Structure 1
């Protein structure tokens, strides 16, 4: 498994796509101070959120954080206890699910077992009373879109998991919704097929120019596919930003810990020089090269950094100048093929270093029980105040 940073890299046409940074852009979907209660339990708390046309937007968080409730309110399966949900400027209050210009693809796929692939895809159009010629044309287009042209006559039980997932996707897309809602759509697929399907969904979304909103608890899935991610915690938004920003500059300890592996050391500010901050920790002073946080001397903070930004050195090897050098003992090593993860005991605190296995070798230079040092550059350090 690759370190999460690999999933954070965004390239191609998406790199220039950032309507959220344009003050003149109008959101397609707006949650306006939405609260949703189920009895005494608050699933979503006073939440405001905007999603723009042609975004591939991810709602990410653990089970019970409110992400599925948000999606169901947009689909019309739940109603806000307070606040409004708007689509293209229209308040959706009172609009039933079948009249909303959205469609939802469920984790279970919810295919009709007695119907063929073709009839499953055509079901929604038939319920709308569309002309037969139009239904045939649109179903054929949808089958080609998801590469199932030759399987129209098969029943769901005659398909693989990946093929059933494509049928569910085609059925959701055939009605040409303004927004496609994806509820954990890849959870039933094996890892390799899931990774392949992620890129297929991205390519399909860009080609169709639709807005996709995905609910997932899988951070790698969100990091790979999304233009932006909303990280949720107990019904509230912890951070909304691009995958790269959330990974490289998490706003809180919660976000830093939830997205990927991270090392985190508590301390107190001992010096501030512009955007450069020195933090005193139990492992020694650590210098953060750059922060946007306003802090003062004596303030309790945390210093965090990613394992792949850590250089692992034998105990006797001198490190580079100007970096934090942390001495410890290797307590565990995980070999992952392309990477190895080293767990280093710092006297009660375990830190991680991810080392790329760039060349084939007979044995590791640093083994279990060896003394070692971790070198961390100031530019790799993140200052967390919340």
Structure 2
């Protein structure tokens, strides 16, 4: 059966539709290990056909949350539901969920074909059905010519595909990916990200990935849940969590950010002026209501920062900060400048549009940084 079509461009996403029924629901879930709380009263809804990312540092509870869905852990409190069914008491092998581990966990003495077929064989499926389904998924992951090889005869990327085929062959409703690309080199990891996205789109399955890699989550996910100490700090699409972080924590965790503490000096509708060590910063569109005198932070992304030599003019309407280049980082596609300004360490990222080998600015140069009001983010939490 062909997977259902994605909503038409411009149609409301399922998570924005009050009438849409989520596929996976964590309902006030808590998980304790003795005196330690790994997940704390967490509620989350994930919809069918999402490529959903649980993102956060080690120890934030993201893998624990996934393991509760898979059935390897039991909630201390709350419920986990899949397609409306409470999964309490349902063992892992009876859940329509499969998991792809970072280690791949392949049987070294078995061929690729037998590794992929193992789960179906344990279910007692007919031999002809097993053969047909194994052949189908091996073609899907582009390993149909490798069926007779053993894991040690494969590259890291090929072993990862075998593990993926083994997870898909049982046709789960939800595929769980626990840091699945961590063992791959950077180039192969980036290639595999797009292969997984294309595969998820073609199959019409729900993928949930656990990762600490922000770029990985931003590339692959339809939505991201940023986690901190067993709780969800923010849920949103990649552009939302990047451009409109809900807190200092999210702003600092997702990508690079300039963040300056200050106090509200003036409020005019949604325009808020904040007095900071870098001068007065006027935020064009504050997401939250604040009062004069309230302690807040102002944040902006390095790539939205213009940097020029101290003597050069900058157009009106921008906040301007003077400083000295401290470090320069050349990253091929862009150059990042670390600037000391009013006792703060700020960053400006400039796209390298030309092939010039010499950097236009160097450590020790006096510069000005400028940022427009609509690029500034007001953070209360």
Q: Are 2:6 and 1:23 equivalent residues in the alignment?
A: no
**Measured at CA, do residues 16 and 107 of structure 1 come closer, stay the same or move farther in structure 2, by a change above 3 Å?**
farther
1:324 aligns with 2:329: no
Please show how residues 1-386 of structure 1 align to structure 2 within 5 Å.
18-386=13-381
- Alpha-carbon RMSD across the aligned residues, in angstroms, is 1.1
Distance 1:314 1:362 in 2: 19
Q: How many angstroms apart in 2 are the aligned matches of 1:360 and 1:120? A: 49
**How many residues align structurally?**
375
Q: Using a 3 Å threshold, how does the CA distance of structure 1 residues 17 and 130 change in structure 2: closer, same or farther?
A: farther
Structure-1 separation of matches of 2:327 and 2:43? 43
SS in 2 for 1:302: strand
1:191/1:14 Cα in 2 relative to 1: closer, same or farther (>3 Å)? farther
Between 1 and 2, higher relative CO (CA 8 Å, sep ≥ 6) is seen in 1
Runs of 4 or more off by more than 3 Å in structure 1? 12-17
Deviations 1:142-176 (A, max 9, x none): 00000001000000000000000000000000000
- In the alignment, the residues of structure 2 paired with residue 143 and residue 14 of structure 1 have an alpha-carbon distance, to the nearest angstrom, of 32
Cα distance in structure 2, aligned partners of 1:241 and 1:68: 19
Instruction: Report the Cα offset of residue 318 of structure 1.
Output: 1.2
Shift of 1:364: 2.4
Cα separation, 1, equivalents of 2:136 and 2:39? 38
Residue 348 of structure 1, CA deviation: 2.6
Cα shift at 1:363: 2.3
Instruction: Name the CA shift for 1:44/1:362 in 2 (closer, same or farther; >3 Å).
Output: closer
Shift in Å, 1:365: 2.4
TM-score, normalization by structure 1: 0.96
Mapped to 2, the partners of 1:166 and 1:17 lie a distance apart of: 33
Structure 2: distance between partners of 1:17 and 1:36: 33
Query: Separation in 1 of the partners of 2:342 and 2:319?
Result: 17
Distance 2:73 2:182 in 1: 23
Q: Which consecutive unaligned segments of at least 5 residues does structure 1 have?
A: 1-11
Cα distance change, pair 83–128 in 1 and its aligned pair in 2 (3 A): same
After superposition, give the CA deviation of every residue in 1:30-75 in whole Å (9 maximum; x if it has no partner): 0000000001100000000000000000000000000000000000
Q: Is the 8 A contact 2:25 2:82 kept in 1?
A: yes
> In the TM superposition, what whole-angstrom CA distance separates every residue of 1:70-119 from its partner, at most 9, and x where no partner exists?
00000000000000000000000000000000000001000000000000
The structural deviation recorded for 1:292 is 1.8
- CA shift, 1:362, in A, is 4.5
Q: Is the 8 A contact 2:52 2:207 kept in 1?
A: yes
Distance change in 2, residues 1:14/1:66 (3 Å): farther
Kindly state the Cα deviation for residue 224 of structure 1 after the two structures are TM-superposed.
0.2
Q: Is the 8 A contact 1:14 1:227 kept in 2?
A: no
